[in-house]
Structure 1
């Protein structure tokens, strides 16, 4: 809450500063362009009421122009980014702001007529002189405001990108550590080498296949752990090799069902995502031959895949560090690729993973 409050105060002061800057610049530029114009020469010869009315309408105009410019900038940031189409963005922002200046100027003029009871014909005749100058000056002020807003957006965007890059670097390091831990896990290596030695004695072809898949896993970990994203097709190939080892080691204690749409295999996700979820399921559940752990990986609608497993908790529950799930969630957050959704009840543990285009 403190950060929100500070942000609100900071944002409010920025807006006040922009309005006051526009207010003073409007009068300053008007004087610099034509210091001998009737409006400048007669400014302090009018009544206090007329001066206050002039200052008030100018302040309202500056507030309207600055707030409209900020609103236009925010809306365009969502539909037309500076980084993607700078020329189109510049033309769109300039056109919309010019239209806004003209509209606000017209409304202020009508308000002035209503308050002062000026003759509309007289105002129309004088438009080519004083009002044209004011419109030009106003356009210059809007240009300054747009420049300030754009500069502020660029600086904030640069800061956010720098923060995202730092966070992503940290996540990659964590993923590499997870990968390294997986590679050097003595239980994993010992168990697989034990199975391999037995298979070589019993079935040389099966032993060869086991060794081949074992090498695929290490090759994948070495090559892809540093990448931000990888295709679902490559991740599934890695998972196939991982499952091959698991099924020979665990036997019929786990049952895998993978059903992925071919059209989604070219989409991407962070590397090791599926392996981490499968490992999480195996870590916290029983793998019994008469009651195997069922793990399903299947396509859902709108470029989503689901990884779910039946719940069969170990009697001696292993405390969960949550590193795998947190790692996945943080990587998706930094990549802006959607958000994984976790669902759990007494029978099912399910994670919905968005695929990245």
Structure 2
């Protein structure tokens, strides 16, 4: 099967990771894969993937961009065109390629019109496709590769000069408004141990004065952020909007308890006592930190399920099943 993956992003988030992992995984199964995306992603693909660089970060209504994309797709003559994310979906809906079309929704969207004419639609969680009226919609959760390394509790605390007996909570992600890290900094106090925020972004300017004098560390970008999960007591999300967080998947794989606002993904997986509205995050976090072992017991079945289900291989296989369903 020849598949053309199209992605309009230019960041380093979950959408971009999904785009590269899926293309590489399909190629590993023997499919012929063409990946169209920003030139900066060239090195993220295996040699078996044909990468066609095209800067889709330009205005999605740009007629030259639309013509270029259409010509590139038609020149490769795929059986399937797969639009990853809202911008790619808008472009593909506008140019109407002759191939079968699949779109993946990666976040909660108010306008889903572009997906209505597609042959199939995939959501990375039930929440992101709940409002979509489409006869052929599916849920395929994001999957991750096995971790390459891990840190012990002692190693993690030593890196950031945290006492061995102090509880340590991780919050990982880009410092952008939708992640609402300011909520965590505002509620954090000495009774909750240390909060380690890993990530970089424009919200740092807002967070730095809020964190001053509090047991909060703004660690910035850490290339081994995932390895830190095995050394922490808790992972926390205060997000206002998510699709299906990669950091959540990685925490589940690391058997790290999670407390989150009820955003898509978290709302359909986490135990009720591990979900809290923005105003109730503090008591939910304190309950888990009071007995991290009990929190792990509550989440044990979810940890086991995640280890078997939230993998790149399962994500690729489930996506390929959607393709087969519209090409038979």
Structures share a fold, TM > 0.5? no
Task: Give the structure with the larger strand fraction.
Answer: 2
Compare the two structures and name the one with the higher helix fraction. Answer: 1
Q: Highest relative contact order (Cα 8 Å, sep 6+), 1 or 2?
A: 2
Interval of TM-score (by shorter of Structure 1 and Structure 2)? under 0.3
Q: What is the TM-score of this pair, normalised by structure 1?
A: 0.20
